[in-house]
Structure formats: C-alpha cells, structure tokens
C-alpha cells in the first residue's frame, strides 16, 4: 500500500520521485520537440515538389501506409496534449491562485488528451481499418 | 522491527566517488529517519556525517533526499517510509561529506533578495508601522519558510543550472515584495526579473511537493512574476 501523501509520486525519474506536474512539463518539452521535428520533415517532404511531380508523389507516398499513419496519430496526440497543457500553464500565469489546483488540472489535461484522441484516432485510422 | 537503511556515503579524503552503504537498524514505527541516522552514528559508524539541530522540523537543518524525495529527516516517520529506506544528500549542492552539503550558494541567493524589511521613513505615529489584516495575510504563507533548501534542491531547473536563484530565495523575496510596509519593492523586483530569477521557473511543482511547511511556492513565484509585469519591468 502506498503511504498517504505518496500517491502523487509513483514515478522515479533520474533517481527522484517527481510530481505529475514535472512529468507534464517533461511531456510538454518532448511533444514540442516532436512536433518541431515533424515540421522539419514536412518542409523537406513538400520541398521535393521542386524536383518535379514524380519525386513529390514518391515522397508523399512514403507516408501512405499504416505505420506512418500510426506515427501521425502520435503526432496528433502530441499536438492536442501540447495545446491543452500550454493552456494550463498560461492559465496559472494569469491566475496564480489556480496553482493550488495543479493536481486536478494536470490530471485533467492528461485525461482530456486521452478522451480527445479516441475519436481522432478512429477517424485517422479508418482508411486502414477492416471496417473502413 | 528492523529497517534496512541505505545511505549514500562520500568522504572526499578517501573516496573518488560516492557509494552506497547498508545498515540494519532497530526501529519503532513512530521513530523518525533522523533517529535511524543517530543510531548509525552513535552505535555503528561514528564517521557518518550529517547536519541537524533542533530535530523538530523548525530549524530546517536536516533536509535530505529520503526514499526519492526531499524531506526533513526529523519529520519523516518509519511507519510512512517503510522497512527499506534510502538516504542521500540533497541535490545541486557540493557534497562536503556524506549527507552534508555546502549551503553557501543557497545563502548567497538568499542574501541577494535582501530578506529584511527596508523602510527608513518615520512611522506616522512615531512608534509602529500599522498594517491591515488583509495586507498581513498576503505574506502569511511565505513568511513560514525555514530555509531548509528542500524546495530549491528538488527543482529540476536548479539541478541543471545552479545560477538559478531558486524557489526558496523567491519565496523570501515574495515575503517582502507584497509587504505593504516595505519600500524596496522595485529593487527586489529588479533582482527577480533577472534572467536567473523568476522567469526560469517551469512550474514543475516539485518544490511545492517537497516543502515541509506546505508553502504554496509556485503561487508565490507566479505572484512575483505578476508584480514584475505590473511594475512594467521585463
């Protein structure tokens, strides 16, 4: 049984049992860098149009399969999470009193991301699904 | 019951690197981790070095990283810690020996925020500077800091770069910044607006979780940033 007051520190990161809010921060950084990486890749992909329609179509074709689509679902999750968590951080900046509710707010952001991703993932994966 | 106590030991005169040592210590559920450390020092290995003074959660001397979190050894009970307990020095500070760290950089940051009331004006009645209960309440929370450094050394920003002034110094700056009797507000806000000041907070709340006095540290930090904005500083 987890002792009282310890329930919010289940994860040991670099030898310190961090708060969920620190994990939220870590996720914010990771999702931000992930989206940035995708943007670079996207620029490279679209710039292949300079070499003619065949090269462009071949480049775009690389992403028309199930593994790439799963990657796009992860990308969408990163975007949704980054946006919602950013709103949480900004809201605390405007109203410091909100920091007293950082636990429910952090859980809320994670929960809302999961809830939003269920229909989004279904829509995104439909072309590859047996029922699609 | 017996408790397995793992302590991260380091003797700069003998060791190249810190290492873990294990001790079996008899304990009652209501014993504190500090009692276990005393037992090791008094009956098993007198060379174990740590800092403590009042031993009752008031002086803030014995902040340590216990079971993966910063806490005061004198406040953490065996019944909450469990039969296996790990103890190491707080992070981001130079370890002098075992659990003893060099607190000087911490005090330097603390001194930087001028943690004392600045007011050279003569009080209106010539005797005392009056304050409404509402004005007093604004710094009630941050005036309870015991300077144990549990918050600052729980902060990942501080782990990465010790030039960050840290949550404890900001809490103590807040205590005077929002004090209606103080006249050095702008000076303190200038210090806080420094690139190594409040802006480096990433709202990870490790400080809030580590504070043995339950001070709403992140709220204080964000209130200071709001004051910087109101004063037109950047």
Q: What is the CA radius of gyration of chain A?
A: 19
Given CB atoms, is B75 within the 8 Å cutoff of chain A? no
What's the confidence (pLDDT) of residue B61?
A: 97
A5 pLDDT above the threshold of 50: no
Whole-structure pTM value: 0.90
Q: Does 3.30.200.20 match the CATH number of domain B2-101?
A: no
Say whether residue B142 is in contact with chain A using an 8 A CB cutoff.
no
Q: For residue range B124-170, list pLDDT tens digits in order.
A: 898 999 999 999 999 999 999 999 999 999 999 999 999 999 999 99
Cα distance from A53 to chain B (closest Cα, Å)? 46
CATH topology of domain B104-230: Fumarate Reductase Iron-sulfur Protein; Chain B, domain 2 (1.10.1060)
pLDDT for B82 equals: 94
Domains and CATH numbers, chain A: 29-128 (1.20.1300)
pLDDT of residue A2: 44
- pLDDT tens by residue, A80-93: 999 999 999 999 99
Nearest residue on chain B to A97, alpha-carbon basis: B219
Cβ of B219 within 8 Å of Cβ of A97? The answer is yes
Domains of chain B by residue range = 2-101, 104-230
Cα–Cα distance between B182 and B2 in angstroms, integer?
A: 53
d(CA B142, CA B130) in angstroms, rounded, equals 19
Q: Which residues contact B62 (CB under 8 A, 6 or more apart)?
A: B34, B50, B51, B52, B53, B55, B72, B73, B74, B148
**DSSP helix/strand/coil, A28:** helix
Q: What is the ipTM of this complex?
A: 0.85
């Amino acid at each position: 049984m987890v002792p009282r007051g310890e329930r919010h520190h289940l994860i040991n990161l670099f030898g310190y049992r961090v708060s969920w809010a620190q994990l939220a921060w870590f996720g914010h950084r990771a999702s931000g860098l992930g989206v940035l990486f995708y943007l670079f890749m996207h620029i490279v992909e679209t710039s292949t149009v300079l070499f003619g329609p065949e090269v462009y179509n071949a480049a775009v074709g690389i992403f028309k399969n199930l593994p790439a689509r799963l990657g796009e679902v992860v990308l969408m999750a990163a975007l949704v999470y980054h946006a919602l968590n950013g709103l949480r951080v900004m809201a605390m900046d405007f109203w410091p009193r909100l920091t007293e509710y950082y636990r429910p707010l952090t859980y809320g952001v994670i929960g809302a991301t999961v809830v939003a991703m269920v229909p989004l993932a279904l829509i995104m994966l439909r072309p590859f699904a047996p029922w699609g | 019951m017996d408790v397995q106590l793992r302590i991260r030991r380091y003797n700069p005169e003998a060791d190249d690197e810190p290492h873990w040592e294990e001790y079996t210590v008899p304990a009652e559920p209501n014993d504190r981790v500090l009692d276990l450390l005393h037992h090791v020092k008094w009956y098993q290995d007198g060379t174990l070095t740590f800092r403590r003074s009042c031993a009752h959660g008031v002086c803030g001397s014995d902040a340590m990283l216990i079971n993966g979190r910063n806490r005061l050894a004198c406040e953490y009970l065996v019944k909450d810690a469990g039969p296996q307990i790990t103890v190491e020095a707080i992070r981001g500070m130079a370890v002098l020996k075992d659990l003893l760290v060099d607190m000087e950089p911490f005090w330097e940051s603390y001194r930087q925020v001028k943690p004392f009331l600045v007011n050279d004006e003569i009080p209106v009645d010539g005797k005392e500077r009056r304050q409404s209960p509402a004005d007093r309440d604004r710094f009630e929370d941050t005036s309870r800091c015991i300077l144990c450094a549990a918050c600052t050394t729980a902060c990942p920003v501080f782990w990465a770069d010790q030039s960050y002034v840290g949550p404890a110094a900001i809490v103590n700056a807040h205590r005077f910044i929002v004090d209606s009797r103080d006249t050095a507000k702008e000076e303190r806000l200038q210090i806080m607006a420094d690139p190594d000041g409040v802006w480096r907070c990433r709202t990870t709340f490790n400080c809030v979780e580590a504070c043995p006095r339950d001070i709403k540290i992140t709220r204080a930090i964000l209130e200071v940033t709001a004051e910087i904005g109101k004063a037109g500083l950047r």
